[in-house]
Structure 1
């Protein structure tokens, strides 16, 4: 999890907008699932207990101050009984994919999520999926940094 005060990877303003959007979305779905997530109402503590995330992490996420890690988003989706991809689309983290979906062995037109790519490749082991998903997320982040650097310099890796 990266605080909005930390030096961000990518545009600080964009990350702040994303964090607020994710926070608003998670607040709405948690409330719909029966958690009273208003401050001091107990719902945030209940979410911390069932997700295994700290109360601080839950609060900063719901308040739009922190953009959760992919593994934390997966935990939220599981606990709130949400489709992982739908949650990413509805919270604004990934665009809605339209058009034909590829069948196994074919390349789909458009952008695949890491989960869709792993499904297409037949990767089912949860440890391999988690490792690959983290690597993909890091690769995307590094590419965004390189793209943003353009002709202004090279991004330090490490």
Structure 2
């Protein structure tokens, strides 16, 4: 609702209230921070996983901070359903919750649902038929990830997942460098 206030004597229609103020437009808004559809989908996926992983119990907030690297304020707001964390934390959050990072990306509407469907179809096929020498750039092109943000996000997830797999495959390497 937009109310035009002009001059020094402004009346609020139907209210019988007189206000003495400067000329301006005043917009009345619903000040609730109701979650958007995107946030609702994200929380519908994340909250059950948070519960299963034990992160909703009293005192578990610090455990989630340590597991994901997300700052305490953002974790607190996540647990209250008030914010979706930055995408750079999705790989760690997915790992801590036992979820697929692509599911988080789809729920947060960063990538369209077709990417998740493509990934599921890929896992259901014989990987030898797909070919193991595809680069992330080729996969992004084939999946239609053409915008800069989508490509950056996709490459970041691939890099994180392949780095984690390499670290797990050769744990002695990290010890030797320490």
TM-score, normalising length from structure 1? 0.48
Structure scoring higher RCO (CA < 8 A, sep ≥ 6) equals 1
- Specify the structure having the higher radius of gyration (Cα): 2
TM-score, normalising length from structure 2? 0.44
Name the structure with the higher strand share.
Answer: 2
